[in-house]
Amino acid sequence: MKKAFTMAEVLITLGIIGVVAAMTMPIVIGKYQEHEVKVKAKKNYSMLMQVLDLAQAKYDTAGDNSSLFLTATTNDELTRNFAEYLPGGFVCYSTADSNSACQKLKYKVRRSAYLNQYEQLSLPAIVLPDGGVVYPKLSEYKCVPTAASGVSLDEDGNQKYDADGNPVMWHDVRDDCGTVVFDVNGPKEPNKAGFDVFQFGVWRDHTGRPYWNVLGYSSLASILSGGELIFNRR
């Protein structure tokens, strides 16, 4: 006599499969999304590094990024300079009409450091053909070593005070030329620094971690070295 599963046993088995699928699918989908973001981030970063290389070739300043930044006196001019080397890129200037589609590029991004803090992205910006957005920005230090200081913050982004109640200050000499923020999928969510939004600093002779690392540079560095995304999950 042949043995067969009863209807109850089949239903129980299907139920177990359904529960396992419900538990694992979000993980699988999340991993796929993270993989997709990492691929886009590497592509965008490579393209932006090429912008710096092409600018060096144009200004005959091999190894020196300063010309791209020092030939601009406003962020609008810097953004136009960048767009020159990004085929198909559309520039949204800071003077964009209030009814323009460019206004959607002004949105908040959750910082990759500190507790429940957000960064407001604003124009000018460059919309890439694949839907990504780039926000170049001039540094106040203009590639020149400059004494700088400010208030120190704790791990949640709150101002630090000493035992006497005085603000704790930091002091430094800074010489960056600017920063570049890029969002691999534009205004689309999740808009999390370190997940779909990244930033790097630009100096005369190198690029790297910005002085204020709240927009995903640690995550970008991890991706470029073959690691995982690092972003604020709190």
Token code pair at residue 55: 């600018």
Place of tokens 């200081």: 149
Which one-letter amino acid corresponds to residue 197?
Answer: V
For the stretch 90-115, pLDDT in tens is 999 999 998 899 999 999 999 998 88
For the chain, which residues make up each domain, given as ranges?
8-224
Cβ neighbours, 10 Å, residue 111? 23
For the stretch 161-205, pLDDT in tens is 999 999 999 999 999 999 999 999 999 999 999 999 999 999 999
pTM of the model: 0.85
Place of tokens 């239903």: 11
Quick one: what percent of the chain has pLDDT higher than 90?
Answer: 76
26 pLDDT higher than 90: no
222 pLDDT higher than 70: yes
Please tell me the predicted confidence (pLDDT) of residue 231: 83
**Least confident residue range of 4-18, 58-72, 138-152:** 4-18
